[in-house]
Amino acid sequence: MAVSHRLFRPATTTVKNTFSSFLIRSISSSSSSSSGSSLDPKIDLEEAASQLEKSSSTSTSPSPYKGRNFHWVFLGCPGVGKGTYASRLSSLLGVPHIATGDLVREELSSSGLLSSQLKELVNHGKLVPDEFIISLLSKRLQAGKEKGESGYILDGFPRTVTQAEILEGVTNIDLVINLKLREEALLAKCLGRRICSECGANYNVACIDIKGDDDSPRMYMPPLLPPPNCESKLISRADDTEEVVKERLRIYNKMTQPVEEFYKKRRKLLEFELPGGIPESWPRLLRALHLENDKQSAIA
């Protein structure tokens, strides 16, 4: 493997990410109680699921694919590009891209009751319970319903079989897209991630060039470099080290494998191996989703 990095000297030290210390996973209500967290007793799993079922009812909205309500889920290791491809499909299909990680961050930055409870969990290194995530998701879907949104693309949920079962009980998921990428490329991508400390834009300084062999073709992924005004302001996540990234991938694979099997048994899982960067992968993904007839969608 030949992986090169084009680095820029950051203007500041590495940024810390509050959410790197925990994963959004399921724990039972009893486990939540025993952990000492002070979740509002009114927010239990049954009620949260009921709220999600009510808010998942969709209405029609203008879209190039009018008449089709897309209820899709994106799975994939951290750093694989779920957000990038989910966002592109969101724009193409006219449905919202809902990332549970964003919902948690938004709630954490607010001043509501759930925010104070979340901060307590994070400060004590606790896991975020299912009922909390489902409550946030139901609020988001209800808000979308009121705005006339039709369908959704979920990113980051479900991550456990328990979450998948809850979701299945309240809404019908049409398709689960599982993005895959060679581990050496995935590792290089994570280590090459950079953020502009001023505007918040995301870049990647890794130039990935993996030689092909009998089992797999050559893979080339060019860097996503910043404009000149951002070069001196690049910072990296404090947890984007090789040791931490490998451990993050190990935990993800162990936790998510049962979810993949869950949807595979229901014949809803689409395994998609990314062949390279966006220019190469995007048109192939559209073909796999039978969306290749839209000429504008093939523009990378």
Judge whether 233 counts as a catalytic residue: no
- Catalytic residue, chosen from 88, 193, 194, 233, is 193
- 82, 108, 249, 196: CA torsion to nearest 10: 70
Q: How many CA atoms lie within 13 A of 259 on its CB side?
A: 29
Length in residues, the chain: 300
For tokens 């910043």, name the residue: 226
Judge whether 237 counts as a catalytic residue: yes
- Catalytic residue, chosen from 105, 139, 237, 268, is 237
Q: Which amino acid is at 60?
A: T
C-beta of residue 132 within 8 angstroms of C-beta of residue 43? yes
- Catalytic residue, chosen from 88, 126, 140, 159, is 159
Judge whether 266 counts as a catalytic residue: no
Judge whether 82 counts as a catalytic residue: yes
Judge whether 194 counts as a catalytic residue: no
- Catalytic residue, chosen from 82, 88, 194, 233, is 82
Q: Please list the active-site residues.
A: 82, 159, 193, 237, 248
